[in-house]
Structure 1
Amino acid sequence: MKQILLSIRMLLRFKVYTFVNFIGLAISLACVFTITRYIHQENTVDHCYPEYKRIYFIERSISDGTKELSGYQSDLEKDPAVERYASFTPCTDLVMDFGKQEITVNALSIDSTFFSIFPYSIYMGSGKIKRPNDALITKEFWLHSLNGVPNPIGVTFKNSVGRKFRIVGVLDTQETKTSWLPDMFLSDELEELWFSNPNYAVVMTPGTDIAKLNEKYNKEQPRDEWSTFQTMHYQYLPLTDYYYTTSHEKSALSQHGNKDYIRVLWIVAFLVGIIGILNFTNIYTVIMSKRAREFGIKKVYGAGRKEIFLQIYIENMLLSGAALFICWLIIEITRHLFYNEMYIPTNSNLKFDLNISLLILFVLPLLTTFYPFIKFTHNTPVSSMRELSSTHFSVRSRMLFLGFQYVITIYMIVMSLFFVRQLEYMLHSDLGFRTHDVIECKMYVFKGGSSFHEKEKEDLLKEGKIQQANKELVNKRMSESTLFTHWSRIPMPLHQFKPSRYALNRAENGFKPVLRARMSPRSMELFEFQLLEGRLWNDSIDEMFTKNSFKCIINESAKKVFGIKDITRDKLQGEDKSWASSNVPSEYNPPVEIVGVIKDFNVKHLSQSAAPMIIEYFDEKYELITVTASYPHERRAEAIDFLRKLYEEATGSTDFEYKLIEDEIASMYNEDRRVVDIYSLFAKVAILISSLGLLAISLFDIRQRYREIGLRKVNGAQGKNIYPLLIKKYLSVLGIASLIAIPLSSGAIILYLEDFAHKAPITPDLFIIGIGATALISLLTIIWQIYKAANVNPAEVIKYE
């Protein structure tokens, strides 16, 4: 206790240095804690299931590159290595009628063994589905969608075909984040799901060699009788890998992580943490330098290495404790900032938070104690007092630490500037089609659910008449309007292209991956695709669902990839049976004729090059749901209002929603924007921490040179002579740090762009701005101290010294 009180008293003697020290560490720790908590959360997804290491999904891989959860008729669940299995069917966008409101629900239809593999705690009511009409809801759905209605057990609701369900239980929130986010769980005995193929999850026996088992089932088989040349195979996909998989199509029921984003966060946390520790150690050595005589005398009076180590360690632990307290305050205050602006949401995990706090409180002081302890104990007491108070070794070591901080700060500023440039470059690149003033909306919404009871045939016929009336009304109103320059019933091309494979002329030539979509003449005119050869679609001569439907338009990349010389002679053989041939014999899948070539355009992230594309004909009379239209820029509000009123007239509903093409393109770069935001924020944090360190170091160093400055002024030196003298050292450190930071950041940028097809240029202004910003902030930090030193009264200084 005596040692602790002594340490507190010593730290309070140097209040400015102590305050700057633990504030800098607290800011650094708050950033590192926030990031590491998020990373821990992402790396423990699905760990709430006790057997998560032995749980596997059955995954179907199709030869066109598509991967999806499946298992139906695969027989992989029957392998002897499988201990038990469960089936489940995702049901998304179900419209449920809760009496006073209709709620869109994402549900899982499950069998009786599902909860033995994926257990949930019961928050209220029962945790079992005993009858086909029983439903279990999640606590989040109860609180947010049902507004926490008192005692939801027994509440009934209906689906779109009138089937009544009854809530029998509320399931509690899982302890960790999970890969899926169902609102409710339904029985797998529902008649509406008779024609749905379930997915399978299995629990493997301990010690199963999954690699060997997957090799056993890695045999291609025909996908189905309509696929012609397309094949597939099944594999076991670990639950631990599912969250980070990138090959599955996004679903409203599932959520996926991004390993690249996690790597970026690791790098940022490491850099900010290093700056914080260097700053902490550096300022503490300043405090120790002011106490050189104290430690020298202690050594003269017999203080051993153990006593000195203990005092330094306790002082560092006290500083770490104070920083830890401020750190958690900052975290709580900035929680919403990180969630809303950075999208780094974290759930509290008491065990993890306690462990990391104890690590900082007891282990970090060991790291920060090591350097001052070695520095203050390697010499004799007399040499120690003389060296630590007057020689250049202490100054050199502090400048070395400051230099490292400068390197990291410049690096982070340059990287953040380049990420902003790359993002702007991609957002404003010419994608090869119209990317402005285009709106897409729905004019009819299927409420989900289907039934096969005889009594519902009349309802289905009635629904068909409603759909036809809706289509005629929408087409009539859009044709009569002069508000739009073009309109179509085809969605935007951004999300229409799906993977497929084609071969030149015949299958024996080998299939190659392409992106395939269907477009109408009006949609191609709307998006202003540029014809290079042949023709575009024409409603008067092109057809769907006939033997005359096997035609396509390709882009430049497809022509190049397939080596097509003459589009009038060469054809493309599809691996799978085209949708255009669904009304012809199942074995009929001839090569498709190429009628035109258009200029390359990009519908994917610009890190990818323009892919080979195949565009098939689509007749808009078969489209009911979507309307896409272009409009003059200044009439956007009018266009939205017109479509809202049309939607209300056509459907009788008021839940109008729309998409703007500018927003859809921007959404493709959400991850890039998050990286920009993260680097920009933490570059500012790095500047702040480095400035705090520079403030403390310069305060000490310049104050030590007051006697020298006084003597120089006595001998005729003026302010213009003093300023360069005091500032030269810091500019020299900054210059050396810049020479190190430039190749480091250049290499990092080149590495980052390695897989990018479209790259923003790396120009000198990036480094000039990064170095200039660091230099400017550094000068602003020390300029007042230099001004005071240059204007010091030499008589007072010499008298004091």
Structure 2
Amino acid sequence: MIRSYLKTALRFLLKNKTFSFINIIGLATGTLCCLYILLYVQDQYSYDKHHKAANDIYRITSSLQITGDKHNNSTASPPIAPAIKRDFPEVVQFTRLIPTGLLGNSKNLLKYKEKSFYEKDLVYVDSTFFDVFSYHFVYGKNTSSVLAQPYSIVLLKSVADKLFGNTDPVGKVITIDNGFGKHDFNVTAVVDESLGKTSITANIFVTMRSGGFGQFVLDNTAWAGYNLACSYIKLRPGASATALEKKLPDFLNKHGAQQLKALGMTKVLHLQPITSVHTTSGYEVELSKTVSPSLLYILALIAVMIQFIACINFMNLSTARASKRAKEVGVRKVVGAGRADLIRQFLGESFLLSLIGVILAIPLLYLALPYLNQVTHTDIRISFLNHYSIWLILIAVVFVTGVVAGSYPAFYLSAFEAIKVMKGNFTSQISASGIRRSLVVFQFVLSIVLITGIIVIYSQLNYIKNKDLGFDKSQRLIFSFYTGDTQQKMSAFANDLQQLSDVKAVSRSNNYLSQFVGRDHGVYLAGGNGANAIDAQNMDTDEKFVKTNGIKIISGRDFRVKDTLKTLINETLCKRLGLDPAKAPGTRLYSQYLNGPVSYVDVIGVMKDFNYNSLHGEVRPFMLFYNGDPNAFSFITVATDSKDYKTTLGRIESVWQKDLPGVPFEYSFLDEEVQKQYEAEISLSQIINSFTIMAILISCLGLFGLAAFSAEQRQKEIGIRKVLGASVAGVVGLLSKEFVKLVGISFFIATPVAWWAMSKWLQAFAYKITISWWMFAIAGALSILIALVTVSFQAIKAALANPVRSLRSE
């Protein structure tokens, strides 16, 4: 029986080559896209699951509110994690991690004998770090002593290979020079991430017991401020994180109530599963790039949509060809075939096509993998086929596609009455043409929603790119100074740059605009106190920062040399303090941390608000402090008016080699740094763009097949019309009209769906575009144009055919 079904299915596929080709290619392409997206989503959810007892590891996060300002931090104050370990027996271990990159130390100079190079992602960690997290130890042993000794260090294998090649470096001493000083470290182990992907981005693990900032963290007793420690705890098996989290308010009140009250801060601690860190967004500080869960939902939805579109092609073409197989059904029923037998036969054909499509999709996926990985900025590899879960996905795709794509043809064809079929008069309670029209409408609803999504996303990105940020980002160069030695030479380099004819201005600072600002202070007016202070982010700059970055001052003046204890504030801070911007210059602002001494600065000017961080959030209170110490800065911003950057950069490099010989010449453009804040949105646009094109191509394949079938069915009608004088244009319009009408219906259904979806997406931005009618109009026009181009080929072919051929049997 099965052999008979198989022979019949293969015979039908070979007899209808065009039908088979369109179905198989459509299913293969749809399966390729669907499979890759599912692999991508699975890959994103796989982070940190390899750690031993991963389900018992939690990150401590902090929700802060300071005089009305809310902060959602992925970090906590330094003493919190060890105190939780002491106070709660269900906690078996804790560890903390301090990413120095977020403290302004983005790169570190590593030296071993004659080798030296810059490396990023150095982190201070507790000696318990490898007790909590699982890494593969290439050299050395995972023991509690690996980071116990002062100035001990563990290297990621990629870094160790640069310094030592393939030799065992354990016991060797390397020198690290960065913004925290110059020290020698003893290499105690080398690890790699072969066990699995992690949300912890780190190349160099330095024990906290290394003096400087590490020792500052170990000694720190601040329960309210200094929320800079990425803190983790490991629970006993079976312990409830929910129950523990309910105890944390009393725990925090016990240890930090006085400090929180003095700072006017409300603080709530949460426990976040380590396995959800990579797929959770919304925190102000993260160790690595996270992926928004909404993005993964969108991608999973796109995967389903693309597979549905491929299935719809199959269903449409199968029902369209139903009349070709009607007599076959009648003959089978006459010779004794039951409806169940026919259902099995047609579902079997559907499963066979689906299986062929999946089998073909795998080598196609292998070929497309480099491009798709480039689009999604990930590194999914073909070795995924060794994983049992992937095979389960493949089986599920074959089964679901086979059932969804073959269900209607199977039940529709098997319902034909044998007598009526043999007489050539067969009908069904459900109109096949009505089903086909509905499926085409659904298909183009999905396509129009995707096209609209592309238009809205690109419009938002274009808005971001061209919005006035309140400072000038064009023709600005950023130079970073990572070590104490290079920072001492910044002044000489800055002075020499000012002598170049195409350099307009040069300034120094401890941050550059668009970079994360990690420092904030609570400030208040005379008569106030820390409990009602306004929390303001701030930067240290020289007297040329405002001019160099094109920031506007609306009242007062700019910094001057030796402006000790002077500040510039933005409009938002001015309003929050209750000051009139015109009268704010000359006001004295005070600050006090806990019971420490009261400090003050004098406001000399008010800056027009500018977006020093991304447009995802509104402008917050912000201050610039004048700092006259030439060694207090890590960055130089250079404003140029050059039209020949190659020449300008050559001149700047010559100055660099003179003032900083032997130091690698590195720079970045400020506008590119600003753009990096929107990498997630740019990536989303590329992903949706790529898979929308695939969805449209699959839709066009199905439409092409339906147009061919329609032209075939109306061959005689077209012949008669041509004999009676119908023009080619008239015949083309006749055949195209029905499909254009269906796309028009799709447009009216898709518009509210697309508006709702993109309105939700835009909520992530504080500054955003308004969704306009023309976006939907373009999406609808493109869909109609695509449909016309697809259908017109078959319509023109039918219109140009010789009518004698179609009418000669009459």
Say yes or no: TM over 0.5.
Answer: yes
For normalisation by structure 2, the TM-score amounts to: 0.85
Task: Tell me the equivalent position of 2:568.
Answer: 553
Query: Counterparts in 2 of 1:508-519, with a 5 A limit?
Result: 510-519=532-541
SS at match of 1:494: coil
Matched, 1:217 2:257: no
Matched, 1:181 2:201: yes
CA drift at 1:761: 4.3
Equivalent in 353, 357, 364 of residue 319 of structure 1: 353
Task: Tell me the equivalent position of 2:376.
Answer: 342
Task: Tell me the equivalent position of 2:225.
Answer: none
Matched, 1:97 2:111: yes
Query: Counterparts in 2 of 1:336-375, with a 5 A limit?
Result: 336-347=370-381, 348-349=383-384, 350-375=387-412
State the AA in 2 paired with 1:165: N
Specify whether residues 85 and 415 from structure 1 end up closer, same or farther in structure 2 by C-alpha distance, changes over 3 A only. Answer: same
Specify whether residues 652 and 791 from structure 1 end up closer, same or farther in structure 2 by C-alpha distance, changes over 3 A only. Answer: closer
CA drift at 1:745: 2.2
Query: For 1:205-237, what per-residue CA distance to the aligned partner results, in whole angstroms no more than 9, with x for missing partners?
Result: 314213313333343827979986567665544
CA drift at 1:47: 0.7
Matched, 1:27 2:34: no
SS at match of 1:628: strand
Equivalent in 288, 298, 305 of residue 271 of structure 1: 305
Specify whether residues 233 and 758 from structure 1 end up closer, same or farther in structure 2 by C-alpha distance, changes over 3 A only. Answer: closer
* Alpha-carbon distance in structure 2 between the residues aligned to 1:67 and 1:575: 26
Specify whether residues 124 and 532 from structure 1 end up closer, same or farther in structure 2 by C-alpha distance, changes over 3 A only. Answer: closer
SS at match of 2:643: helix
SS at match of 1:346: coil
Matched, 1:699 2:712: no
CA drift at 1:657: 1.0
* Alpha-carbon distance in structure 1 between the residues aligned to 2:468 and 2:211: 50
Equivalent in 438, 450, 460 of residue 422 of structure 1: 460
Specify whether residues 714 and 629 from structure 1 end up closer, same or farther in structure 2 by C-alpha distance, changes over 3 A only. Answer: closer
Residue ranges of structure 2 left out of the alignment (5+ in a row) = 101-106, 177-181, 219-228
Query: For 1:639-674, what per-residue CA distance to the aligned partner results, in whole angstroms no more than 9, with x for missing partners?
Result: 322332333323322411112111112212222211
* Alpha-carbon distance in structure 2 between the residues aligned to 1:191 and 1:513: 30
Equivalent in 343, 366, 376 of residue 413 of structure 2: 376
Q: Contact 2:416/2:427 (CA < 8 Å) preserved in 1?
A: no
Specify whether residues 524 and 200 from structure 1 end up closer, same or farther in structure 2 by C-alpha distance, changes over 3 A only. Answer: closer
* Alpha-carbon distance in structure 2 between the residues aligned to 1:315 and 1:155: 66
Q: Contact 2:75/2:285 (CA < 8 Å) preserved in 1?
A: yes
Specify whether residues 482 and 577 from structure 1 end up closer, same or farther in structure 2 by C-alpha distance, changes over 3 A only. Answer: farther
State the AA in 2 paired with 1:437: Q
Task: Tell me the equivalent position of 1:536.
Answer: 558
Equivalent in 476, 482, 486 of residue 501 of structure 2: 482
* Alpha-carbon distance in structure 2 between the residues aligned to 1:371 and 1:43: 35
Matched, 1:304 2:334: no
Query: For 1:531-586, what per-residue CA distance to the aligned partner results, in whole angstroms no more than 9, with x for missing partners?
Result: 2222332335x21xxxxx2x5333333333444247359958666549xxxxxx93
State the AA in 1 paired with 2:75: E
Specify whether residues 309 and 47 from structure 1 end up closer, same or farther in structure 2 by C-alpha distance, changes over 3 A only. Answer: same
Specify whether residues 695 and 654 from structure 1 end up closer, same or farther in structure 2 by C-alpha distance, changes over 3 A only. Answer: same
46-55 or 608-617, which deviates more: 608-617
Specify whether residues 572 and 501 from structure 1 end up closer, same or farther in structure 2 by C-alpha distance, changes over 3 A only. Answer: farther
* Alpha-carbon distance in structure 2 between the residues aligned to 1:509 and 1:224: 10
102-111 or 765-774, which deviates more: 102-111
For normalisation by structure 1, the TM-score amounts to: 0.86
CA drift at 1:428: 0.9
Task: Tell me the equivalent position of 1:79.
Answer: 87
CA drift at 1:617: 2.8
* Alpha-carbon distance in structure 2 between the residues aligned to 1:431 and 1:110: 37
SS at match of 1:201: strand
State the AA in 2 paired with 1:775: I
Equivalent in 654, 668, 692 of residue 659 of structure 1: 668
CA drift at 1:704: 0.8
Matched, 1:617 2:626: yes
Q: Contact 1:221/1:233 (CA < 8 Å) preserved in 2?
A: no
Query: For 1:193-212, what per-residue CA distance to the aligned partner results, in whole angstroms no more than 9, with x for missing partners?
Result: 54443865322231421331
CA drift at 1:624: 4.7
Query: Counterparts in 2 of 1:559-708, with a 5 A limit?
Result: 559-565=574-580, 567-568=583-584, 577=593, 586-589=596-599, 593-619=602-628, 621-708=630-717
Q: Contact 1:275/1:690 (CA < 8 Å) preserved in 2?
A: yes
Task: Tell me the equivalent position of 1:771.
Answer: 780
Equivalent in 215, 219, 235 of residue 204 of structure 1: 235
CA drift at 1:706: 0.7
The alignment covers a number of residue pairs equal to: 763
54-63 or 501-510, which deviates more: 501-510
Query: For 1:330-358, what per-residue CA distance to the aligned partner results, in whole angstroms no more than 9, with x for missing partners?
Result: 22112111222332432554222111111
CA drift at 1:37: 1.1
State the AA in 1 paired with 2:792: I
* Alpha-carbon distance in structure 2 between the residues aligned to 1:21 and 1:56: 48
* Alpha-carbon distance in structure 1 between the residues aligned to 2:21 and 2:194: 41
Q: Contact 2:131/2:144 (CA < 8 Å) preserved in 1?
A: no
182-191 or 627-636, which deviates more: 182-191
* Alpha-carbon distance in structure 2 between the residues aligned to 1:572 and 1:373: 82
Specify whether residues 503 and 306 from structure 1 end up closer, same or farther in structure 2 by C-alpha distance, changes over 3 A only. Answer: farther
Matched, 1:152 2:189: no
Specify whether residues 723 and 530 from structure 1 end up closer, same or farther in structure 2 by C-alpha distance, changes over 3 A only. Answer: same
State the AA in 1 paired with 2:36: T
Query: For 1:301-347, what per-residue CA distance to the aligned partner results, in whole angstroms no more than 9, with x for missing partners?
Result: 22112211211121111111111122222221121112223324325
Query: For 1:168-189, what per-residue CA distance to the aligned partner results, in whole angstroms no more than 9, with x for missing partners?
Result: 5554611x32111333555566
* Alpha-carbon distance in structure 2 between the residues aligned to 1:720 and 1:633: 57
Task: Tell me the equivalent position of 2:179.
Answer: none
Task: Tell me the equivalent position of 2:222.
Answer: none
Task: Tell me the equivalent position of 1:284.
Answer: 318
* Alpha-carbon distance in structure 1 between the residues aligned to 2:260 and 2:726: 95
Task: Tell me the equivalent position of 1:459.
Answer: none
Query: For 1:110-145, what per-residue CA distance to the aligned partner results, in whole angstroms no more than 9, with x for missing partners?
Result: 6665444323344566444756487654445456x4
State the AA in 2 paired with 1:265: L
* Alpha-carbon distance in structure 2 between the residues aligned to 1:667 and 1:281: 44
* Alpha-carbon distance in structure 2 between the residues aligned to 1:225 and 1:745: 46
State the AA in 2 paired with 1:567: K
* Alpha-carbon distance in structure 2 between the residues aligned to 1:167 and 1:410: 58
